[in-house]
Amino acid sequence: MLVLSISELNKVYGCVVTRADHMVAKNGSPFDKAEFEKHPERYTSKFATEIAPYATVIINGVYWDARTPRLITIPDAKHLLTPVHRYDMPGCPTLPHRLVAICDISADPGGSIEFMAECTTIDKPFTIYDADFHTTSDSFDSPSGCLVCSIDNMPAQMPLEATSQFGDLLYPYIFDMVSIIIVLVIRFLILLRKP
């Protein structure tokens, strides 16, 4: 991870991880998309060991079914969320672990993020996962853990907000648009009546 070794702390780095980046054939052959889609059970994921340890926030949106390898298993989560002992610097305390939050937009309980046993809701969008006790809590008082958002109907919520904003922007022009349409219809009708 080159970025990790030369990264600046005041910048946000993002990357898109594809299946080819973390899925490895159990027989050692290179990743084959067609084979993976037919036989995902022939693959294993190295996401938890080679990608997640370097992430602070993970946004997961993969399709998952029972034959597909998980991105993060319960033992993986325990390892990823185990405190790393570092020395605090004055005014800059270290986090107990690097992984701070997961937004699981695929929202598959027990799926690709195995420890997510239950989806969060619009009313309570966040939970804290404690890997030591394999529990979740709505309280933010926990000294460690991982913030998780896994709303199963989130895609249905976003269009409402987008539609409301679009409607607010469009509303002032509605009467002008209707007037133009009426004028065009009248002109068209006049053209139809001409011999």
Task: Compute the mean pLDDT over every residue in the chain, rounded to the nearest whole number.
Answer: 83
Q: Where are the beta strands (DSSP E) in 57-188?
A: 57-60, 101-104, 127-130, 135-137, 146-149
Joined together, the tokens standing for residue 163 give 């539609």
Identify the burial level of 79 via C-beta atoms within 10 angstroms of its C-beta, where 0-12 means exposed, 13-18 middle and 19 or more buried.
middle
Q: Which residue has the higher pLDDT, 59 or 2?
A: 59
pLDDT score of 71:
95
Strand-pair category, 101-104 with 57-60: parallel
Q: How far is residue 108's CA from residue 158's CA, in Å, rounded to a whole number?
A: 19
> Which fold, 2-152?
Rossmann fold (3.40.50)
Q: Which residue has the higher pLDDT, 115 or 158?
A: 115
Q: Which residue has the higher pLDDT, 164 or 21?
A: 21
| DSSP label of 52 | G
Whether pLDDT at 35 is above 90: yes
- The dihedrals phi and psi of 103, each to the nearest 5 degrees, come to -105, 110
Number of Cβ atoms within 10 Å of the Cβ of 20: 12
CB 57 within 8 A of CB 97: no
Query: pTM, whole model, 2 decimals?
Result: 0.70
At 98-125, the pLDDT tens digits run: 888 999 988 889 999 999 999 998 889 9
Q: How far is residue 176's CA from residue 187's CA, in Å, rounded to a whole number?
A: 16
Q: How far is residue 78's CA from residue 74's CA, in Å, rounded to a whole number?
A: 6
Q: Which of 2-16, 53-67, 80-94, 151-165 has the highest mean pLDDT?
A: 53-67
Whether pLDDT at 15 is above 70: yes
Reported confidence tier of residue 164, pLDDT bands at 50, 70, 90:
confident
Strand-pair category, 146-149 with 23-25: unpaired
pLDDT score of 1:
44
Whether pLDDT at 70 is above 80: yes
Q: What percent of the chain has pLDDT over 90?
A: 37
pLDDT score of 176:
82
